[in-house]
Amino acid sequence: MAKIAVLGYGTVGSGVVEVLETNAASITKKAGEAVEVKYVLDLRDFPGDPIQEKIVHDVDIIINDPEVSVVVEVMGGVEPACTFVKKALEAGKSVCTSNKALVAAHGPELIAMAKEKNINFMFEASVGGGIPIIRPLNQCLTADEVTQVTGILNGTTNYILTKMSKEGCSYDETLKEAQALGYAERNPEADVEGHDACRKIAILTSLYTGKTVKFEEITTEGITKISTADFKYAEKLGCVVKLLGTSRRDGDKVYAMTAPFMINASHPLYNVNDVINGVYVNGNMVGSLMFIGAGAGKLPTASAVVADIVDCVKHSGTNVATIWSSEKLELGATDDEVRSFFVRVKGDDEAAAKAAFGNIEVVKVEGIDGEFGFVTAEMSEKAYKEAAAKVEVINMIRLDKTVL
Ligand code: HSE
């Protein structure tokens, strides 16, 4: 019998307990032994709940118990999670986490600690919730050089953008609705400003390059400036607007960005709607792959965490290698990235826009006055900025042309 401890009895923590109970028989078969939750660490008590008999308030009870072989960190945030995870690894306990902030900030250090102790540090649930994406990159695609990863990596913003697109609601109105439904936090900044998706693309890029991508160095823009007018232009262009975390190799450079993009119907992520996440991966041998599913939520996220627990139990005494060194990956400059841009400009001086941007395709939407939109030919971000300085830009959305 493998004894585990769960740090944090919130949505994911209670989901982990539920998955282990619901699927106990099949999990026992797959892990090779039964998995029992011995402790749950939480600041709170849960009187009347059967979990109460397992609740502890002091992490050292878990750390000092030699029976506990796997610690599950589902508290979120970098501290105290990082301190607790390090204590667990130092004590020879494998760790599974859903915490993308922790993994993005300390991934290689925690992976190295686990390797040294011949135990495991696993983090499948940290990106894409229930979607298997860490294990595919780490174990299934080892024959390939991954050339691109582009994903809808944040369910909250995908819900907001889908709703704005389909129902024509404003950003503020849709955010309030998402908060009322529990899809968006009361402080939605991490999601709507793109920080959450940025950390996730940093983790995925680190995994496929084997080096550390500093999330602070990824150009990141959120969705707060996207308006109903942008969606009307998008519709006219046969596009939708999606917040993408994207990174790709180009020669010896890797470029990464998190931003809203316009994508058309042939894009593999075009139909990934509501809170669903989707990740497109291209490998130089396998070609295009798509991973789609629930990117958040109690049971989907817990499913990924429990799969890690099973892997840790199955590989007790063996480190499953994760290639992610602390060597920093110098990202290519965003200014050098080349793509088309959708631009909205104040006024009606199409000639001035053509003089600044060259060959453009002008778009007008009935009912939107005092401005016009256009799509540029492919140009570098640097060239875009130089041209944009010559006109009065209302908003700009990049185009992504990934095809399956
Ligand atoms: N806030 C995140 C999202 C939760 O909306 O996708 C999962 O990381």
Task: For 299-344, give the DSSP string.
Answer: HHHHHHHHHHHHHHHHTTT--------SSBP-PPPGGG-EE-EEEE
Overall average pLDDT of the 317-343 stretch: 97
Environment class of residue 383 by beta-carbon count within 10 Å: exposed (0-12), middle (13-18) or buried (19+)?
middle
**Separation between Cα atoms, residue 113 and residue 39, nearest integer Å:** 23
Judge if the beta carbon of residue 156 lies within 6 A of ligand 1: yes
Q: CATH topology of 135-294 equal to that of 335-399?
A: no
Which atom belonging to ligand 1 lies closest to the Cα atom of 277?
Answer: 6
Amino acid at position 9, single letter: Y
Asked whether residue 183 carries a pLDDT value surpassing 90, the answer given is: no
Higher pLDDT, 174 or 183: 174
- Residue indicated by tokens 């497109």: 280
Judge if the beta carbon of residue 295 lies within 6 A of ligand 1: yes
* CB 105 within 8 Å of CB 78: yes
pLDDT in tens, 353-366: 999 999 898 999 99
What dihedral angle (degrees, nearest 10) is formed by the CA atoms of 328, 329, 334, 339? -160
Pick among 1.10.8.60, 3.40.630.30, 3.40.640.10, 3.40.50.720: CATH of 2-129+298-314: 3.40.50.720
pLDDT at position 139 is: 96
Average pLDDT across the chain, whole number:
97
Of the pLDDT bands very low, low, confident and very high (cuts 50, 70, 90), residue 182 is confident
pLDDT in tens, 3-59: 999 999 999 999 999 999 999 999 999 999 999 999 999 999 999 999 999 999 999
* Residue extents of the structural domains in the chain: 2-129+298-314, 135-294, 335-399
Judge if the beta carbon of residue 296 lies within 6 A of ligand 1: yes
Overall average pLDDT of the 344-359 stretch: 96
**Which of 228, 246, 237, 226 lies closest to 266, judged by CA?**
237
Judge if the beta carbon of residue 154 lies within 6 A of ligand 1: yes
Distance from residue 184's CA to the centre of ligand 1 (Å): 9
Token pair for residue 236? Answer: 């006219």
Asked whether residue 285 carries a pLDDT value surpassing 90, the answer given is: yes
Among 131, 156, 199, name the best residue to mutate to test ligand 1's pocket (greatest count of ligand atoms within 8 A of Cβ). 156
- Please name the residue whose Cα sits nearest to atom 4 of ligand 1: 296
Judge if the beta carbon of residue 191 lies within 6 A of ligand 1: yes
Calculate the alpha carbon distances from 39 to 50, 55, 59, 74 in Å: 12, 6, 10, 13
Asked whether residue 320 carries a pLDDT value surpassing 90, the answer given is: yes
Distance from residue 275's CA to the centre of ligand 1 (Å): 9
| CATH number 3.40.50.620 given to 335-399 | no
**Separation between Cα atoms, residue 88 and residue 214, nearest integer Å:** 25
What percent of the chain is predicted at pLDDT more than 90?
99
- Residue indicated by tokens 């939107």: 368
pLDDT in tens, 376-397: 999 999 999 999 999 999 999 9
Fold of domain 135-294: Dihydrodipicolinate Reductase; domain 2 (3.30.360)
- Please name the residue whose Cα sits nearest to atom 7 of ligand 1: 296
Overall average pLDDT of the 331-358 stretch: 97
